[in-house]
Structures are given as C-alpha cells and as structure tokens.
Amino acid sequence: MKKNSHTKQIAVLILFSIISLTQNLAAQQMTLEQAQALRNDAEIAEKSLGRVIENGPTPEIQQDVSEANRAVGRISSQLDQYIGVIQEPEDIYQNGKKYPTAAKVEIKSFEVPVNAKEVHVPVTLDRESPNTVIAYVRVYDGQGGRANPDKTKSVIFYPGDPLTKTVSFNVREMSEGNNVRAVQPSVPDGAYRAGGGILITAAVDAVNEPIEGGRKGEKFKPLGELCYSETGETLQFDDRGGANSFSTALAHGRTQVGNGETGYYGEIEYGGFQRTEDGLVLSSRRLEEPVKVGTPAVEYPFLAVMLSGHRTPESQFKYGSVEWVVKMPNRFGSWPALWLLPTGGWPPEIDVYEGFGYNGEWKFASDLSSNLHGGEHLRRTFTRPAMRMSMGVFGLPNTLDSEFHRFAVTVDEEWITMFVDDVETMSYANPFKGENWYPLTNVAVKAKIDSPYEDGSGDMTIQSIKVWRAE
C-alpha cells in the first residue's frame, strides 16, 4: 500500500505539471526560450511516468499513469509545433554579409556513337546554386575527329534547374577511335571552373543523348506601382538632389578613391549633361585643368558624370523594379554603370550593368556584366560577379553602343533578377532583405593619368528611367 500511495502521489504531481503546461501553451505567449524549457520539462515528465509504469503500480494507477503519459506526448507534439512556428530560421546570409559558396562547373570525357555528326557535352554543377550560372564550352579538333566548326557555346543554369545539362556541337570524321577535344575556355559566370580539357571519343555501342530540363528565362514584368517615370527630356537633376531630382554626386562625395577612378563627378557647371533629340547625354571627357580634391590634394584629370537617387524619394523602394533605356559609351577608359545602393550606406550593392572600358579585352558593343556586393560598415565581405556573358548568349544583337537597349532589375523578397531587352540574364537569391534601394546612372573614368581619353565616345545617352515600387 505504501508503494502504491507513493506512486500515486508522483503521478498526481506529474498531472499537475501537465495541466500547467497545457495552460501555458494555450496562452500562446511564450518566448522561444520558454517554450524550449517547457519542452525539456515535458521530456522529463515522460521519462518519469515511464519509470512509474515500470515499477508495477496497481492496474488502476497504471491506467491513469499511462493516460497521463500519452497526454504529455500530445503536449510535447504541440510544443514542437509551436517552437517550429516561432523559431526563426538560420540566416544563411548573415544579414547580407555572406553568400552561399559558388558552385563548381565540370565537364568529363565521354564516348559518342561511331560516325556521330553531333555531340552533346554534359555540363555539371556540383551543388545547387543560389544564382544563375552561365558556363562556356569549346569543342575543337582532336585526334582524327574534327569540330565543325571550332566553336564556343554557353549553357545557362537558372536557380532550381537540374544540375546537369548538355550543350550540342556539330562534328565530323568521327570514325571508331577518333576524338575531338573540349574545354571550358573561361571561368563560368556566377561559379567556379573545375577540371580541365576532355576527350570526346567515337566508340561502338556508345550512347550520347541530349539532356532536357530546366526553365527558360523569364520576361521582364515590373513589380509594383509606377512611382517614377521620366524621359531624357523631362528627367530633373541638380548638384544636391532632392524631391523628383537626381543628384550629380554620390552620397559620400564626388570621387571614388577606393575604385582607382581618375574621374571627378562634376557639378552641372562642368557641362557633363546635354539634352538632345535622342535623350539626356552624360558626357565624360578629359578636363583642360585637373580638379584637385583633399589634403594633400589628389588630382582628377577627367570629368565623370553621375545621377544618383540618394536624395530622391520618388526613385526609392524596398521591393520593386527599375528600368533604364540607354545607349552606352565605347571610349577606352570609360566605366559606365547602372546600379542600386541602399539608403543606409554601402555595402550592399547591386550592379545591374557595368562596362569595364579600362580593360582592353572589354567589347562595349556586346559584353555584359552584373554583380552583388555584400558586407557592412564600408567593408565588403563577398561578391558574386558575372563578367563574361554577352548579348549573343541571350540571342540579342551586339549593338549596346550604337542602339538603345532596355536594362532592368527586379528586387523582391526572395530574388534579384536582371534583364536586357526584357530577357532574363542573371538571377540571384536576395541576401539583402529589407534594404531601401535607389538607382544610380553614371559614366565613371578609370583611364591612366596621361591618357588622352579620346578613343571612341565617352557619352551615355538616357532615353528614359522608370521605377516601380511594391513596398
């Protein structure tokens, strides 16, 4: 009797604990820490009830304790659900300071049927990518086999696509044992390159089929309501910037020392802005006399041109879209850009387009570039560039410096997506949730101090700028 009485007291105490648990859970006012502590208490109660049952109480008490044990199990399940709701998921982006490791792209040697006229080269990512990856493959003459012709092609992996795709090439003279060669001639956009050159060999009974799958690029559809829309004729700007008027300076001033820029973002009096029939022209040039900035003075021999929305509330948004219709410069040493910065300060940064005219290999008519920069307090901790893609990758004409084209970006809570002429070019998982963005349009200069800076046009012409705001 004494043992059964003691067992009953234990069961009663545990039942009171269960009632308390139930009341607290029903209140739905617990913090995560409180809920986790109660979940630990429930686990202790379940173990205690299990020991009571094992001690062999009377059938009546055993039934009561078993029911109590099942009740604790149900409460534990509810606590698990509640904790799952209120527990914040791990921030893999560390509030915009980190980005998932870039994928690696690899091609491997394989066999094709004898006398094949076409080969399908498998291209594989080693992991899911948080951003679009564009890989480049070249097939060229090998031992006996011939590329028809020697050519480089691209294959696009949008986020969520299968990890292996194929890119197809015409070949000839692929009798048994003959081969052609393939290589990734450049680092992929948005990823790393793995492995080296491969052989594609003709063999009896070999099978080589194309691998289908993945999505097509999206078409640009603005996000939100139109909140800013101006043409080259109506777009307003002044040296300070303000309501419905862009600034001719950056938020921090008129120079970019950290970028190695040699151009000074001039005030209106420098004559860097002209309205024409084609649009508003942003003109960069060599100055007659360098501008001296700072102490000790740094000389800037070139005029750069800037339109920044850091003081223009109509152009700012948390989630939304921006569209520029522009014609690019092509002067060696110029650095045109279309980009976004947050009102809270750099970084982060979203580069929709940059033209690296200070790089001798850059082709203004065809080359494209985009990038994300993350970090905080003026310190960059990651970047994810795409700098080797071109208009031809997306079936667009190589006329960036001779015709107007539409550049656009949409920022939503999950994705940052870039477009050219309404065609999706790059998409990034958004690590910068909650930032308030504004657009910048500029022609920087990164020419050598003694450069005449006169090879080609230093002008960007703006036909229109539009901003849509969803939040």
Q: What is the pLDDT of residues 363-373, one digit of tens each?
A: 999 999 999 99
pTM for this model (two decimals): 0.82
- Single-letter residue type at 463: Q
What is the pLDDT, as a whole number, of residue 28? Answer: 55
For 2-86, CATH gives: 1.20.58
pLDDT band at 1 (very low <50, low <70, confident <90, very high): very low
Q: What is the pLDDT of residues 130-152, one digit of tens each?
A: 999 999 999 999 999 999 999 99
Architecture, CATH, for domain 104-202: Sandwich (2.60)
Domain boundaries, the chain: 2-86, 104-202, 225-469
Q: What is the pLDDT of residues 363-408, one digit of tens each?
A: 999 999 999 999 999 999 999 999 999 999 999 999 999 999 999 9
Instruction: Find the helix packing angle between 2-27 and 32-54, rounded to 10°.
Output: 160
Q: Which two tokens stand for residue 268?
A: 């209106």
> Tokens 């003279």 label which residue?
173
- Does residue 166 surpass a pLDDT of 80? yes
What whole-number percentage of the chain has pLDDT above 70?
87
Choose the CATH number for 225-469 among 3.40.50.300, 3.40.50.1260, 2.60.120.200, 2.10.210.10. Answer: 2.60.120.200
Q: Which of 11-15, 65-69, 81-85, 332-336 has the lowest mean pLDDT?
A: 11-15
If you average pLDDT over every residue of the chain, what do you get?
91
Q: What is the pLDDT of residues 407-427, one digit of tens each?
A: 999 999 999 999 999 999 999
Burial 306-336 (b: 16+ CB within 10 A, else e): bbbbbbbebbbbbbbbbbbbbbbbbbbbbbb
What is the pLDDT, as a whole number, of residue 73? Answer: 73
What whole-number percentage of the chain has pLDDT above 90?
79
Q: What is the pLDDT of residues 179-196, one digit of tens each?
A: 999 999 999 999 999 999
Q: What is the pLDDT of residues 275-286, one digit of tens each?
A: 999 999 999 999
